[in-house]
């Protein structure tokens, strides 16, 4: 039926299934094809992400699609609101950059039919993209569980792609944390179904009240998702995993994967259970976020290795995201999307994704030039890979929070929300976090530009890779300017018109 | 009724005891045996709850395939594979914190579940009401292949990812080569006898479980697990060679299920109400065709998972 073929909701199906199909096809075809399929799919996937964002923005309402024609509660609904569209765009950009970078890294030896690392990387990168989109678009808590599993199983093998015992150990530790997180999430999902007879997010938001089952379910799910997000003090798995993976994988893991579980925490907290939040719970989450900022920054300061320092910086930057929760406590449901803390949180998510991906890729080039990533041995590495060091510097601006970077705009919005609501203690933590970031990042940049006696080699294909890294870093550094043209995309929430969100 | 309650209480006590044994026993081999027993007991619990589909899956996957995987892991450790050094083993404080966290979750669940008054809300009547549109008679298959087909499709991709994850652990030189399963040429006579006796029966049972799944408990996952078990048996006994992971027919068998599912899903956009929708007149044959394809893929995926990462180069 032609009308169905023109349903714009099919864009959501494409966003999830296009990369998933690519991953399956890559397994079926000879190994050389895995990379080609990924590169063929990437422009299509990017176009789908742009089209979804455009459609949501132009309509001013969420886009939705009932899979198989079965409406909730029986069937599954895919939904895109403003934050989903943002996630789709950020994922497409970072995946593309990681892919372009990895093309030089993973080029098979001449004569080899397929290499283990290349086939595994490309297949999992596509599966991971599908999983991220499924997390952003899922409208049903069990469908989101499947999306999380897809994400976990595509992310973990990337950690030990290098094959050393050390990375295998890091991957196993990640697996334990991630699986405990999955089990807790699944327990909560089962409890919610038992209590309310539906798993659809929008239907649940109308039915769930402050009953013991809902409170326990929410606590279990948020705890499980926090373990997957590496929220302090559940962050122990992250530094070895993100520091040990190949650069392109680290960029995706640190930039995108931990954001997906955070995205679901926001969904649960603000869309499914708006009535459940109490001041104590909101402040506990805020306190863990503050703990992450301080502990992560101090640990980053103490690292002797570049990649570990960047990984600890991820622990700290994740903390800022969680400050959204206490800063939006008490704000009426209808006004949340217009609040500075809401825009600030999402901007932090986007700018950290771009900046951290750029930083890990830049660190990859720096480590390749130096042959190691010990910070005290990097004096003068800027002469071998000048553009990579420039990108590292620009990404650093965003992490520290200097204008006009996305990190600056995000932290400014969060700070102003803290001041406006009289919660100055969160503001103090944020300012301290920015200072500490400057303390651990600027010495590295200083060393890279300093004179040194060590000999550095220019890496293979350095030019094309440096360009990719610089583009990402420039995007992160200029993201703050997007605040000058508030597109209002982020204000389109699932709550903005329940009828439009596809509730029968 | 009282006899039923006595059985239930006894079963619950056994499940709890088996779980405790699995955690407390010091020997890894004994713990795995405990885990397999736990899976089989849990299957009985599902039967008592009238969830025969879940029981079959729990027995096949929770008890069977996972059990074999764990036994192979323990075997590898006994043969002297170097265990990963991950710092000192967890101290008493860590153990106590873990135990407390588990106890807190259990207590919270008990509080909530025991506090429920009246029957829990359910979608079962709604599923039953719409089942005729699928041509099926087993509502579980209706949920898996029609109402929530996207979940099932993505789960099939997850299964493939798990296999890729296992393969990714192979040494670089062995990529595309053969996994090692059992000790080639040194299988015991008993194993060889079983591997000749069981597969003809098992293959029929597996296909039967798949076929009846449309109308009665059963389906692709359970049927696939039985077929996988038969193939594993034949490979372990050395009667059937373990294929190199680069073999085109193997790759085709792995992906045919998800690809067939996807193809029917996309066709639904043009011949039915949308992605993963079935035209009512052909719903049942299409669903059976998808199930047949995913049964094959599941069987091959599970068997290759048990076989593990390739260890030696094979013919490309």
Could you read off the pLDDT of A259-282 as tens digits, one per residue? 999 999 999 998 888 777 788 889
The string over B10-47, giving b where at least 16 C-beta atoms fall within 10 Å of a residue's C-beta and e elsewhere, is: ebeeebeebbebbeeeeeeeebbbbbbbbbbbbbbbbb
Q: What is the pLDDT of residues A136-164, one digit of tens each?
A: 999 999 999 999 999 999 999 999 888 88
The pLDDT of residue A500 is 42
Across residues B205-222, what is the average pLDDT? 84
Q: How confident is the model at residue B83 (pLDDT cuts 50, 70, 90)?
A: low
Q: Do A20 and B154 touch (CB under 8 A)?
A: yes
Q: What's the number of CA atoms in the CB half-sphere (13 Å) around residue A119? A: 28
Q: Do A124 and B161 touch (CB under 8 A)?
A: yes
Residue B290, pLDDT > 80, answer yes
Distance from CA of B140 to the nearest CA of A (A): 12
Q: From chain B, pick out residues whose CB is under 8 angstroms from the CB of A73.
A: 123, 126
The pLDDT of residue A263 is 95
Instruction: List CB contacts of A406: < 8 A, sequence separation 6 or more.
Output: A347, A348, A350, A351, A354, A355, A398, A476, A477, A478, A479, A480, A482
Q: From chain B, pick out residues whose CB is under 8 angstroms from the CB of A156.
A: 165
Alpha-carbon span B34 to B27, nearest angstrom: 11
The pLDDT of residue A152 is 95
Q: Do A146 and B270 touch (CB under 8 A)?
A: no
The pLDDT of residue A502 is 44
Q: From chain B, pick out residues whose CB is under 8 angstroms from the CB of A160.
A: 168-169
> In chain B, whose CA is at the least distance from the CA of A74?
B147
Residue A389, pLDDT > 80, answer yes
Q: How confident is the model at residue B185 (pLDDT cuts 50, 70, 90)?
A: low
Q: Do B109 and A65 touch (CB under 8 A)?
A: no
Q: What is the pLDDT of residues A390-408, one digit of tens each?
A: 999 999 999 998 888 888 8
Q: What are phi and psi of A113, to 5 degrees?
A: -75, -50
Q: Do A113 and B84 touch (CB under 8 A)?
A: no
Which of A116, A167, A191, A193 has the most B C-beta neighbours within 10 Å, making it the best mutation to test the interface with B? Answer: A116
Across residues B81-101, what is the average pLDDT? 76
Tokens of B272: 């039915």
**What ipTM score was computed for the predicted complex, to two decimals?**
0.93
Q: How far is CA A501 from CA A10, A65, B276, in A?
A: 15, 9, 20
Q: What's the number of CA atoms in the CB half-sphere (13 Å) around residue A52? A: 34
The pLDDT of residue B178 is 87
> In chain A, whose CA is at the least distance from the CA of B272?
A1
Q: From chain A, pick out residues whose CB is under 8 angstroms from the CB of B275.
A: 10, 13, 17, 65, 67-68
> In chain A, whose CA is at the least distance from the CA of B169?
A163
Q: Do A146 and B154 touch (CB under 8 A)?
A: yes
Q: What are phi and psi of B169, to 5 degrees?
A: -85, 0
3-state SS assignment for residue A263: helix
Residue among B111, B176, B275 whose CB faces A212 most closely: B111
Q: How far is CA A231 from CA A125, A242, A418, B154, in A?
A: 24, 14, 21, 27
Angle between helices B283-307 and B189-212 (to 10 degrees): 160
Q: What is the pLDDT of residues A89-141, one digit of tens each?
A: 999 999 999 999 988 777 666 555 568 888 899 999 999 999 999 999 999 99
Residue among B105, B115, B168 whose CB faces A120 most closely: B168
Residue B174, pLDDT > 80, answer yes
Spatial contact of B134 and B284, defined as CB atoms under 8 Å apart: yes
Q: Do A20 and B150 touch (CB under 8 A)?
A: no
Spatial contact of A32 and A108, defined as CB atoms under 8 Å apart: yes
3-state SS assignment for residue A78: strand
Across residues B303-313, what is the average pLDDT? 87
Q: From chain A, pick out residues whose CB is under 8 angstroms from the CB of B269.
A: 4-5, 10
Residue among B105, B168, B175 whose CB faces A114 most closely: B175
Q: Do B150 and A76 touch (CB under 8 A)?
A: yes
Residue among B86, B161, B169 whose CB faces A154 most closely: B161
Which of A37, A70, A106, A167 has the most B C-beta neighbours within 10 Å, making it the best mutation to test the interface with B? Answer: A70
Q: Do A157 and B168 touch (CB under 8 A)?
A: yes
Please tell me the least confidently modeled range out of A428-437, B14-23, B127-136.
B127-136
Q: Residue A147: which H helix or E strand, with range?
A: helix A141-159
Residue among B126, B252, B262 whose CB faces A74 most closely: B126
Across residues B277-303, what is the average pLDDT? 92
Q: Which residues pair with A140 in a beta bridge?
A: A200
Across residues B139-154, what is the average pLDDT? 91
Q: Do A124 and B162 touch (CB under 8 A)?
A: no
Q: Among candidates B219, B167, B191, which has minimal Cα distance to B60?
A: B219
Q: From chain B, pick out residues whose CB is under 8 angstroms from the CB of A24.
A: 157, 160, 255, 258-259, 262
Residue B184, pLDDT > 70, answer no
The pLDDT of residue A497 is 42
> In chain A, whose CA is at the least distance from the CA of B265?
A68
Tokens of B11: 């079963």
Alpha-carbon span A300 to A396, nearest angstrom: 13
Q: How confident is the model at residue B131 (pLDDT cuts 50, 70, 90)?
A: confident
Q: From chain A, pick out residues whose CB is under 8 angstroms from the CB of B278.
A: 68
> In chain A, whose CA is at the least distance from the CA of B129?
A74
Alpha-carbon span A12 to B244, nearest angstrom: 37
Residue among A66, A153, A163 whose CB faces B165 most closely: A153
Alpha-carbon span A83 to A165, nearest angstrom: 39
Q: What share of chain A has pLDDT > 70, as a percent? A: 94
Q: Do B269 and A5 touch (CB under 8 A)?
A: yes
Strands (E), A44-189: 63-66, 77-80
Alpha-carbon span A286 to B210, nearest angstrom: 50
Q: What is the pLDDT of residues A224-242, one digit of tens each?
A: 999 999 998 899 999 998 9
Q: Do B112 and A156 touch (CB under 8 A)?
A: no
**ω into residue A233 within 30 of 0, thus cis?**
yes
Q: What share of chain A has pLDDT > 90, as a percent? A: 58
Q: Among candidates A272, A6, A291, A262, which has minimal Cα distance to A136?
A: A262
The pLDDT of residue B188 is 80
Q: Do B120 and A195 touch (CB under 8 A)?
A: yes
Q: What is the pLDDT of residues A6-44, one digit of tens each?
A: 688 999 999 999 999 999 999 998 878 888 899 999 999
Residue-range domain boundaries for chain A: 302-484
Q: How many CB pairs under 8 A join A and B?
A: 183
Q: Do B270 and A1 touch (CB under 8 A)?
A: yes
Q: Do A7 and B274 touch (CB under 8 A)?
A: yes
Q: Do A74 and B169 touch (CB under 8 A)?
A: no
Alpha-carbon span A221 to B194, nearest angstrom: 46
The pLDDT of residue A254 is 94
Please tell me the least confidently modeled range out of A71-85, A284-298, A472-486, B218-232.
A472-486
Q: Among candidates A200, A499, A220, which has minimal Cα distance to B106?
A: A220
Q: From chain A, pick out residues whose CB is under 8 angstroms from the CB of B111.
A: 212, 216
Q: What share of chain B has pLDDT > 90, as a percent? A: 33
Q: What is the pLDDT of residues A43-94, one digit of tens each?
A: 999 999 999 999 988 888 889 999 988 988 999 999 999 899 999 999 999 9
Q: Do A220 and B272 touch (CB under 8 A)?
A: no
Distance from CA of A137 to the nearest CA of B (A): 13
Q: Do B112 and A130 touch (CB under 8 A)?
A: no
Residue among A120, A165, A197 whose CB faces B164 most closely: A120
The string over B255-292, giving b where at least 16 C-beta atoms fall within 10 Å of a residue's C-beta and e elsewhere, is: bbbbbbbbebbebbbeebbbbbbbeeeebbebbbebbb
Q: From chain A, pick out residues whose CB is under 8 angstroms from the CB of B81.
A: none
Residue among B82, B150, B157 whose CB faces A67 most closely: B150
Rg (CA), chain B: 22
Mean pLDDT in chain B?
A: 87
Mean pLDDT in chain A?
A: 88
């Amino acid at each position: 039926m032609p009308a169905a073929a023109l349903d714009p909701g099919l864009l959501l199906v494409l966003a999830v299934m296009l990369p998933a199909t690519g991953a399956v096809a890559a397994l079926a075809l000879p190994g050389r094809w895995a990379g080609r399929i990924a590169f063929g799919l990437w422009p299509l996937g990017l176009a789908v992400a742009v089209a979804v964002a455009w459609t949501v923005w132009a309509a001013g309402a969420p886009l939705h699609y009932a899979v198989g024609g079965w409406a909730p509660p029986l069937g599954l609904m895919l939904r895109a609101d403003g934050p989903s569209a943002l996630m789709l765009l950020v994922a497409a950009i970072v995946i593309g950059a990681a892919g372009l970078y990895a093309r030089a890294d993973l080029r098979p030896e001449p004569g080899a039919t397929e290499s283990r690392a290349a086939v595994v990387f490309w297949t999992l990168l596509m599966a991971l993209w599908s999983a991220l989109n499924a997390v952003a678009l899922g409208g049903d808590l069990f469908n989101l569980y499947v999306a999380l599993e897809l994400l976990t199983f595509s992310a973990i093998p990337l950690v030990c792609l290098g094959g050393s015992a050390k990375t295998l150990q890091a991957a196993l530790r990640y697996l334990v944390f991630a699986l405990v997180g999955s089990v807790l999430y699944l327990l909560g999902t089962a409890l919610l179904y038992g209590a309310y007879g539906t798993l659809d997010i929008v239907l649940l938001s109308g039915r769930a009240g402050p009953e013991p089952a809902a409170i326990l379910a929410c606590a279990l799910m948020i705890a499980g998702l926090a373990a997957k997000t590496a929220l302090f003090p559940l962050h122990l798995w992250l530094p070895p995993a993100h520091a040990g993976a190949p650069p392109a994988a680290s960029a995706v893991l640190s930039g995108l994967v931990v954001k997906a579980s955070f995205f679901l925490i926001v969904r649960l907290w603000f869309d499914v259970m708006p009535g459940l939040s109490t001041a104590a719970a909101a402040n506990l989450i805020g306190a863990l976020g503050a703990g992450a900022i301080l502990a992560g920054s101090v640990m980053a300061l103490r690292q002797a290795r570049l990649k570990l320092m960047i990984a600890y910086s991820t622990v700290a930057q994740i903390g800022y995201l969680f400050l959204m929760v206490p800063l939006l406590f008490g704000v009426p449901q209808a006004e949340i999307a217009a609040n500075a803390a809401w825009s600030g949180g999402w901007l932090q998510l986007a700018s950290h994704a771009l900046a951290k991906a750029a930083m890990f890729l830049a660190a990859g080039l720096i480590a390749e030039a130096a042959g190691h990533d010990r910070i005290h041995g990097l004096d003068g590495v800027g002469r071998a890979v000048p553009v990579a060091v420039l990108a590292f510097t620009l990404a650093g601006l965003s992490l520290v929070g200097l204008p006009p970077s996305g990190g600056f705009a995000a932290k400014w919005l969060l700070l102003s929300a803290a001041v406006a609501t009289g919660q100055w203690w969160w503001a103090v933590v944020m300012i301290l976090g920015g200072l500490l970031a400057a303390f651990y990042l600027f010495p590295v940049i200083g060393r890279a530009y300093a004179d040194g006696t060590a000999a550095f080699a220019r890496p293979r294909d350095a030019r094309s890779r440096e360009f990719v890294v610089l583009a990402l870093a420039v995007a992160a550094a200029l993201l703050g300017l997007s605040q000058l043209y508030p597109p209002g995309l982020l204000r389109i929430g699932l709550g903005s018109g329940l009828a439009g969100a596809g509730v029968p | 009724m009282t006899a039923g309650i006595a059985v239930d209480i006894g079963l619950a006590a056994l499940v709890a005891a088996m779980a405790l044994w699995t955690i407390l026993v010091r020997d890894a081999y004994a713990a795995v045996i405990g885990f397999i027993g736990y899976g089989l007991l849990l299957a009985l619990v599902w039967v008592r709850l009238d969830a025969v589909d879940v029981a079959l899956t729990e027995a096949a996957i929770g008890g069977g395939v996972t059990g074999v995987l764990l036994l192979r892991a323990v075997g590898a450790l006994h043969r002297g594979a170097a265990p990963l050094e991950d710092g000192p083993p967890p101290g008493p404080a860590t153990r106590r914190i873990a135990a407390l966290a588990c106890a807190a979750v259990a207590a919270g669940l008990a509080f909530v579940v025991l506090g429920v008054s009246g029957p829990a809300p359910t979608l079962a009547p709604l599923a039953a009401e719409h089942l005729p549109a699928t041509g099926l008679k087993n509502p579980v298959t209706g949920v898996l292949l029609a109402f929530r087909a996207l979940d099932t499709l993505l789960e099939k991709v997850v299964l493939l990812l798990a296999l890729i994850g296992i393969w990714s652990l192979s040494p670089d030189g062995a990529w595309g080569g053969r996994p090692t399963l059992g000790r080639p040429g040194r299988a015991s006579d008993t194993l060889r006898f079983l591997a000749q006796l069981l597969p003809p029966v098992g293959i029929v049972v597996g296909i039967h479980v798949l076929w009846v799944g449309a109308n009665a408990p059963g389906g692709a996952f359970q049927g696939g697990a039985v077929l996988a078990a038969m193939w594993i048996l034949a490979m372990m006994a050395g009667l059937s060679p373990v294929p190199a992971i680069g073999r085109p027919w193997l790759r085709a068998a792995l992906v045919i299920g998800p690809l067939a599912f996807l193809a029917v899903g996309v066709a639904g956009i043009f011949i039915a109400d949308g992605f993963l929708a079935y035209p009512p007149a052909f719903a049942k044959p299409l669903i059976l065709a998808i199930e047949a394809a995913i049964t094959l893929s599941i069987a091959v995926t599970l068997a290759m998972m048990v076989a593990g990462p390739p260890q030696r180069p094979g013919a490309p």
